[in-house]
Each structure stands twice: as structure tokens, then as C-alpha cells.
């Protein structure tokens, strides 16, 4: 029997940027995210006694090397849990535009956790799935849930995500402004490690980020886009400022990223609630109301073309289906 899982990627409104434990991926701060409907990964897994090694096919291509090793290491955890050693076929399709710089690792490892655990005969709760997905990629722990999710620090047992509101029935969207579609120079693992080890303000960031959690949750509960956006933008800028004060400094944002951030600020001065958040790359994601789409697009015309803007809405949690191979 094979199992297929669909998991959606997510955007962090309060970022995860640093690990307490590198091996088991536990974070230094609580992070809060919004799962996105338009971007997802479909992954099918089945175990086969006759296989000598795991076989990974990603977007139609057979994969070997680091990516395949990472998947096999993740499957070893599932095999340990299930108590057998059979190898697996893993067929995965990404519906996350790589150019958008949205973490496809979040949807990828969430989907893999869902499909592989079921194929191994495990019947994990969403909490157990979130904990398992964390071993693949930190942000994947939140992609088990739809809507707004909250991932807390802790030990291997206690660090997992929980949903805040899975169904988002108020107008909020994410516009990704694609500035550069090249692979990032400093991956998130190295970036967060370097900031944690060298940025003089790292401890301040941890305190500040954790102090933003209660306000972010109440902004979500109250459907307060202004409060949510202000906190998300502040948190993202604090993370990027910390990177710029690491030794040696590093930076993900370009002149164009700053142009977009400033356009959001100008629009706010005109009474349009639009807020910027950026991850480990130059692309800027704008949090806004769907009704302001055309006015925001118009304000961006000097910086990007309309094909460089991708709109996403709140999305659902993981779904696992079964089938014969």
C-alpha cells in the first residue's frame, strides 16, 4: 500500500532563526506562521523489502547526493519508530515556485512525515507528526497545520507546533514580490547558526522575539491585520538587522528589497494596511487585504512586473490519502 500526503508551505510571521540543538532541530524562540493555500508538496511513499536503498524522485527526476541522504536520514527515524528496516520509494512533486523563495523544505518534510509514517504502518497524531517533521526542517513542524500555527521551543518531546486558528475566515493574503530567483547564497541553516554564534544582539533578539508572541496571538484572535502586520514586519527587520551585525556580517536584502519595504511604508501613510516580511533571501512578502491588491500592484510597477508578484491565501493542514501502488 502506498500513501500520499499533501502539505502546504507556510510564511513565518514571527521567525524561527536559531537552534538550541542542531541535531534534533529545537528552536531558540517561538515562531508563528500562516500556511499558504497555493503552495504545496505532494509526496507518495511505499516501503519495499526488495530495495537495496531508498529511491527518491523529485519533480520527475531521480535524486542522489545530499538531498537524497537527508531524506534517507529522515526515513531512518520513521523506520526506527516502526521497528523495521525496509527501504522506500519516495515520489515528490513541489508546487512551490522555487523562484518565490518560499521554503519548500517546510511543505516537503511535512508531506514526507505524513506519507512515510502512514506507509510504515504508524498512525501518528498531528502533534506526533509535527514533532517528526521538525527533524527534517524546522519550518516543516508548522506545515502540519492549516491557518495560523505556533511552534514552541523545548526538548525533543515538547517542541512541536500547535494550531492557533486552522480556519482563517477573515481577509488576509500574502503577495510575494520576486526580486531575485537565484538560489540563496547563505542557506538558512548556516545563516541562523552564524547569527546565533556571532551577532552581539542575538540574546536581545531571543528576548524580543519571545515577547512578541502573546501580542501576535491576540492580533490573530482579534483579526487585527494592522497589529499582526506591524509585529511581523518589526520581527523580520530585527532578524535581518541581526544578520547585518554578525561577524562577518551577511545580508539577504538587496536595494530592490528595500524599495519594496519602503513602498509598503508609503502605502501605510496613505491608509493602506500592507506590511513586509522577508526570509533567507531578497524576496519581499507583503501581508495585506485582498481588496488592496490592485493598488499595491500599481505602487510596485516601478520595481517589478506583474509576473513577479504571486498571491497566496491561507491554506489547510496536511492531508494523507492511500492507494495501491
Quote the CA–CA distance of 325 and 100 in Å, as a whole number. 33
C-beta separation of 303 from 287 below 8 A: no
For ligand PMV, which residue of 3, 16, 165, 202 counts as binding (CB under 6 A)?
16
Q: Using the rule CB under 6 A, is 160 a contact of ligand PMV?
A: no
Q: Using the rule CB under 6 A, is 289 a contact of ligand PMV?
A: no
For ligand PMV, which residue of 70, 87, 184, 189 counts as binding (CB under 6 A)?
189
For ligand PMV, which residue of 279, 284, 288, 296 counts as binding (CB under 6 A)?
279
Q: Using the rule CB under 6 A, is 137 a contact of ligand PMV?
A: yes
Q: Using the rule CB under 6 A, is 308 a contact of ligand PMV?
A: no
Contact range with ligand PMV by CB under 6 A, out of 11-19, 158-166, 226-234, 257-265: 11-19
Residue 15 or 256 having the CB closest to ligand PMV: 15
Binding mask 17-36 for ligand PMV (x = CB under 6 A): --------------x-----
Q: Which residues share a beta bridge with 148?
A: 34, 165
Quote the CA–CA distance of 69 and 63 in Å, as a whole number. 10
Binding mask 233-272 for ligand PMV (x = CB under 6 A): ----------------------------------------
Residue 118, SS3 per DSSP = helix
Helix axes 188-198, 202-211, angle to 10 degrees: 110
Within 8 A by CB and 6+ apart from 162, the residues are 127, 130, 145, 149, 150, 152
Quote the CA–CA distance of 195 and 141 in Å, as a whole number. 22
Residue 46 has φ and ψ, to the nearest 5°, of -145, 145
Query: How far apart are CB 180 and ligand PMV at their closest, in Å?
Result: 16
Contact range with ligand PMV by CB under 6 A, out of 87-95, 133-141, 212-220, 304-312: 133-141
C-beta separation of 287 from 232 below 8 A: yes
Which residues of this chain interact with ligand PMV, rule CB under 6 A? 12, 15-16, 31, 103, 105, 137-139, 188-189, 279-280
Amino acid at each position: 500500500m502506498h500513501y500520499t500526503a499533501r502539505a502546504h508551505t507556510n510564511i513565518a510571521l514571527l521567525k524561527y532563526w536559531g537552534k538550541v540543538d542542531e541535531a534534533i532541530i529545537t528552536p531558540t524562540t517561538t515562531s508563528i506562521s500562516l500556511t499558504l493555500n497555493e503552495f504545496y508538496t505532494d509526496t507518495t511513499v511505499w516501503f519495499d523489502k526488495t530495495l537495496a536503498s531508498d529511491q527518491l524522485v523529485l519533480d520527475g527526476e531521480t535524486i542522489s547526493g545530499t538531498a537524497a541522504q537527508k531524506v534517507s536520514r529522515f526515513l531512518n527515524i520513521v523506520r526506527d519508530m516502526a521497528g523495521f528496516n525496509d527501504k522506500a520509494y519516495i515520489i515528490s512533486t513541489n508546487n512551490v515556485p522555487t523562484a518565490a523563495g518560499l521554503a519548500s523544505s517546510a511543505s516537503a518534510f511535512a508531506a514526507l512525515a505524513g506519507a512515510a509514517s502512514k506507509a510504515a504502518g504508524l498512525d501518528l497524531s498531528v502533534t506526533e507528526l509535527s514533532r517528526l517533521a521538525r527533524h527534517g526542517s524546522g519550518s516543516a513542524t508548522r506545515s502540519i497545520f492549516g491557518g495560523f500555527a505556533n511552534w514552541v521551543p523545548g526538548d525533543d518531546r515538547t517542541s512541536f507546533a500547535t494550531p492557533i486558528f486552522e480556519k482563517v475566515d477573515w481577509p488576509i493574503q500574502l503577495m510575494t514580490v520576486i526580486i531575485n530567483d537565484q538560489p540563496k547564497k547563505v542557506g538558512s541553516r548556516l545563516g541562523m547558526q552564524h547569527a546565533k554564534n556571532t551577532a552581539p544582539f542575538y540574546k536581545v533578539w531571543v528576548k524580543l522575539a519571545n515577547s512578541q508572541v502573546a501580542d501576535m496571538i491576540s492580533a490573530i484572535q482579534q483579526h487585527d491585520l494592522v497589529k499582526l502586520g506591524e509585529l511581523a514586519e518589526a520581527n523580520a527587520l530585527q532578524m535581518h538587522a541581526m544578520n547585518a551585525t554578525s561577524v562577518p556580517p551577511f545580508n539577504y536584502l538587496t536595494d530592490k528589497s528595500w524599495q519594496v519595504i519602503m513602498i509598503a511604508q508609503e502605502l501605510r501613510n496613505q491608509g493602506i494596511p500592507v506590511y513586509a516580511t522577508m526570509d533567507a533571501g531578497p524576496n519581499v512578502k507583503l501581508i495585506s487585504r485582498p481588496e488592496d491588491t490592485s493598488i499595491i500592484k500599481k505602487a510596485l510597477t516601478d520595481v517589478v512586473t506583474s509576473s513577479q508578484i504571486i498571491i497566496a491565501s491561507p491554506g489547510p493542514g496536511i492531508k494523507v490519502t492511500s492507494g495501491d501502488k
